[in-house]
Homo-oligomer: A and B are copies of this chain.
Amino acid sequence: MRERERESEREDSHILTSRHPHTLSHQKPTPTISHTLHTQQSTCFIATLCVCVCASVRHSTMHSCGWLMSLSLIALAGNTVAAAAYKRTERNCSLSPPYLPSTAVNTTLQLQELREQMLHQNIYAYIIPGTDAHLSEYIAPRDARMAFMTGFTGSAGTAVVTQTKATLWTDSRYWVQAERQMDCNWELKEDVSIISLAAWLISEVPSGGRIGFDPFLFSLKTQEDYVLNLDSSNRSLKSIPENLVDKVWNDKPSIGAENLTRLPDRVIQRSWQIKVEQIRNQMRDNPYQPTALLLSALDETAWLFNLRGSDIPYNPFFYSYTLLTMDKIWLFLHMNRVTEELKEYLNTSCEESLCVQLESYETVRKHLEEYVAQPGVKVWIGTEYTNYALYEIMTPQDKLMTTSYSPVLTTKAIKDDTEQRILRDAHVRDAVAVIQLLMWLEKAVPEGKETELTASEYVNMCRSKQSDSRGPSFESISASGPNAALAHYSPTNVTSRRLTPDEMYLVDSGGQYLDGTTDITRTVHWGTPTAMQKEAFTRVLMGNIEISRTIFPSGTRGVNIEMLGRRALWEVGLNYGHGTGHGVGNYFGVHEWPVGFQSNNIPFREGMFTSIEPGYYKENDFGIRIEDVAVVVPVQTKFGHNFLTFETVSLVPYDRKLIDTSLLSSEQLQWLNKYYETIRELLGPELDKQGLREEKDWMLRNTEPFLSPGSSASVCSSSLTLLALAIALLHNII
């Protein structure tokens, strides 16, 4: 799955918190819907109505030209599926009365009630982030407070309410969506920087005024950035641990009833007791001598106890915190979902060092406060995932020990032998599903009935038939033609294009399996690609191969080698605007932090798994991404020790039609042929086992070794043939 953004320059990184605090950046994202529209502004002026409508707009031509632009976009795209888009789809608050599309949500009531709450708290403004208390990448419906207040359901944004105004900040991916979903109570700010948000707060809140926020929904960095930007303005933040939106959200979805589950022994090498001891050893060895470790990220607790839940979409997590000391384990969760069997599994009836004390989820702050009040204690936290509500109570400073990531996250990053084996296994079965999709599309697309949506459903169906399947690991990106050039595109009824042999098609999808999480992208063309498409695809592939085959010392950072994914593109003046890969693991979130190629990822060590996913996107035309998951493995070198390389564990061949082998170096060609041999070796038996004869033929056809087109071998062989001919001639004469 494509990472949200690429590396940013460090100096001015005051960004609004996204659900995943590490993956947002202030850098210009890849071409997005709104960009597309923006560049079509000139097209807009051709239309009859446009000039006057546009003239009346204050913020941006895009807002009120939405209707015509959608029209021209669709006209350009030459696609008639989304007939609904011919209606005006975006609000126009400058009309009287304002025009609101049917998708807009009436937020008058909740705003009124929230403002009353704000008066009680004596605050002038209230900040509503789109995240949860665990700074999760995906959030549960019950945490969608920003969406409840604004109507806007995009995955990134921050809302702020004052007594007279209500404003949403979101990035360019979501501007159109926000204009469709919000009513005229809300103003849209096309920005995501805390600098901009703070400047707005200073302009709207009177001097001396206080700005409320829920500290459970702020990362330490977010809080710090607000303080920095409000500094010396005489406006201050007020931490209000009781969420004000929750107070007015009467029909807020309740917590799921489903019980937590423990992982079966066959997918486990280390029991939770062993893991606890491993973590305690790291606490013991730490020179700062922490007495406790607080775990806040949902995958930390899930990993430690080998437990899974279903609170978060696509992520098998459950709401939880853990406080671990050298002789106690406190697990904070919703206790009604813990069966007697699980209680036994967790040793909840004893009080020794390997007995888990279950505590109610809501008591974590109070409990931590009591713990910190004791003399001589020091709590270790990972700053990237701890919310400000838990941080602010750990005073004085010497009660706290911080690293970017907790030892659980850094330990979890290196997979043990069992985890490595079963994650490889999951990729074998996953490849079967993806091959089924690609084979089916090859036949079905020319018949003209398939769309991005049906393809997306098909791959889900294929995955669901594989053993230990637990559903998709994220919403598939199934994107045809220009849609594939849009950042974070997933098809909807409105946008879904019909698939045709005339366009490129990109499918980025993944599965959750009991033994592993997968994530793979393939880009294909069922007709005749242009020379540019073929060159761009080949160069993206060269990037993927160059990273995959590189040899590097153990401990090298991903950010220091990720340029290999871009270099072949750079050579001809191309590039892509997102990250090059992220960690992935055993039945967790598909973006498994802190492994990957960004500057805040940890150095690569043997046993880590990461995606490798360079791409190229041509606005309004096509998108290419080639994504594989690879494991970091040791490699023998001529002179040195402790060197590593990648081994690709995704096992689906690339579209042969799009590869121009004349661009590949002999090393790249060799790597590719070896990879295809591996696919045959590992996937052949699995396809046989599943009785998939046609799929096996397809796989064999698509993994034929490539011959080097311009190699010396071929050139020379021709001259050698000539030589042989000459000699033969000679013989004849003699």
> Chain A: residues with CB nearer than 8 A to chain B?
7, 9, 11, 195, 231-232, 287, 396-398, 403-404, 532, 550-553, 555-557, 559-564, 567, 570-575, 599, 603, 637-641, 643, 665, 711-712, 715-716, 719-720, 722-723, 726-727, 729-730, 733-734
Does B396 lie within 8 Å of A9, measured CB to CB?
A: no
Closest B-chain residue to A532, C-beta based?
Answer: B639
Closest-CB distance, A347 to chain B (whole angstroms): 34
With A561-B563, A567-B550, A726-B727 in contact, is A572–B638 under 8 Å at CB?
Answer: yes
Interfacial chain B residues near A727, Cβ < 8 Å: 726
What residues of chain B lie closer than 8 Å to A712, measured between beta carbons? 711-712, 715-716
Given the known interface contacts A404-B11, A567-B550, A570-B552, the answer about A396 and B637 at a Cβ–Cβ threshold of 8 Å is no
Pair B571/A637 contact, Cβ less than 8 Å: yes
Q: Is the CB of B734 within 8 A of A574?
A: no
Q: Name the B residues within 8 Å of A638 (CB-CB).
A: 572-573
Contact B574 A551 (CB under 8 A): no
Across-interface contacts of A729 in B (CB, < 8 A)? 730
Q: Say yes or no: B730 contacts A726, CB within 8 Å.
A: yes
Would you give the shortest CB distance from A551 to chain B, in whole angstroms?
5
Contact A9 B603 (CB under 8 A): yes
Q: How far is the CA of A9 from the CA of B639 in the complex (A)?
A: 25
Asked if residues A232 and B397 are in contact (CB atoms below 8 Å), the reply is: yes
Taking a contact as CB atoms under 8 Å apart, the answer to whether A232 and B398 are in contact is yes
Cα A570 to Cα B555 with chains together (Å): 13
Complex contact B734–A573 (CB within 8 A): no
For the complex formed, measure the closest distance between the CB of A324 and the CB atoms of chain B, giving whole angstroms: 21
Residue of B with least CB distance to A643: B573
Q: Which residues of B contact A575 (CB under 8 A)?
A: 553, 640
In the complex with contacts A573-B643, A575-B640, A665-B665, A11-B403 CB distance below 8 A: yes
CB distance from A636 to the nearest CB of B (A): 8
Inside 8 A of A723's CB, which chain B residues have their CB? 719, 722-723, 726
Q: CB within 8 A of A563: which of B563, B599, B711?
A: B563
Query: Is B573 a contact of A640 with CB atoms below 8 Å?
Result: yes
Closest B residue, CB atoms, query A722: B723
CB distance from A705 to the nearest CB of B (A): 20
Given contacts A9-B555, A573-B638, A573-B643, 11 further A-B contacts (CB under 8 A): A195-B287, A232-B398, A550-B567, A552-B563, A552-B570, A559-B559, A561-B563, A563-B564, A570-B643, A711-B712, A730-B730
Contact A397 B574 (CB under 8 A): no
Closest to A723 in B: B723
**B573 near A637: Cβ-Cβ < 8 Å:** yes
- What's the minimum C-beta distance from A304 to chain B, rounded to whole angstroms? 22
Within the complex, which residue of B403, B567, B572 is in contact with A640, where a contact is CB–CB below 8 Å? Answer: B572
Our pick among B7, B562, B637, B733 for the contact of A572 (Cβ within 8 Å) is: B637
5 smallest CB-CB distances across A and B, nearest first, come from A573-B640, A573-B637, A232-B398, A712-B712, A572-B638
Q: How far is the CB of A407 from chain B (nearest CB, A)?
A: 12
Instruction: Give which listed residue, B9, B532, B570, B637, contacts A553 with CB less than 8 A.
Output: B570
A641 proximity list for chain B (CB < 8 A):
573
**Residues of chain B contacted by A715 (CB below 8 angstroms):** 712, 716
**A551, B571: Cβ atoms closer than 8 Å:** yes
Q: How far is the CA of A9 from the CA of B559 in the complex (A)?
A: 12
Bound complex: CA A151 to CA B716 (Å): 70
Whether the Cβ atoms of A640 and B574 lie closer than 8 Å is yes
A293 → B minimal CB distance (Å): 16
A207 to chain B, nearest CB (A): 14
Write 5 A-B pairs (CB below 8 A) sorted by A numbering. A9-B557, A232-B397, A551-B571, A560-B563, A572-B639
How far is the CB of A121 from the nearest CB of chain B, in Å? 27
CA distance A403 to B711 in the complex (A): 53
In the complex the two chains form, what is the Cα distance from A722 to B721 in whole Å?
12
B396 and A232 contacting across the interface, CB-CB below 8 Å: yes
Nearest CB on B from A577, distance (A): 11
Contacting residues, chain B, for A643 (C-beta < 8 A)? 570, 573
How far apart sit A338 and B555, CA to CA, in the bound complex (Å)?
53
**Residues of chain B within 8 A of A555, CB atoms compared:** 9
Which one, B7, B287, B640, B734, contacts A560 given CB within 8 A?
A: B7
Q: How far is the CB of A377 from chain B (nearest CB, A)?
A: 12
- Which B residues are in CB contact (< 8 Å) with A711? 712
Chain B residues with CB under 8 A of A404: 11
Are B730 and A231 closer than 8 Å at their CB atoms? no
Q: How far is the CA of A227 from the CA of B716 in the complex (A)?
A: 70
What's the Cα separation between A552 and B404 when bound, in Å? 31
Give the Cβ gap from A708 to chain B, nearest Cβ, in Å: 11
Contacts of A603 in B (CB 8 A): 9
Q: How far is the CB of A400 from chain B (nearest CB, A)?
A: 10
For A561, give the chain B residue with the smallest CB separation: B563
Could you say which residues of chain B place their CB within 8 Å of the CB of A9? Answer: 555, 557, 603
Q: How far is the CB of A477 from chain B (nearest CB, A)?
A: 24
Tell me the bound Cα distance from A726 to B643 in angstroms: 50
Residues in B with CB closer than 8 Å to A563 are 552, 556, 560-561, 563-564
Question: Could you tell me the distance between the alpha carbons of A7 and B560 in the complex, rounded to whole angstroms?
Answer: 10
A664 to chain B, nearest CB (A): 13
Tell me the bound Cα distance from A557 to B8 in angstroms.
10
Contacts of A719 on B, CB cut-off 8 Å? 716, 719-720, 723
Q: Which residues of B contact A733 (CB under 8 A)?
A: 730, 733-734
Report how far A570 CA is from B560 CA in the complex, Å. 13
B residues less than 8 Å from A550 (CB atoms): 567, 570
For A720, the chain B residues whose CB sits under 8 A away are 719
Which residue in chain B gives the minimum CB-CB distance to A717? Answer: B719
Which residue of chain B lies nearest to A550 when distances are taken between CB atoms in the complex? Answer: B567
In chain B, what residue has the closest Cβ to A12? B403
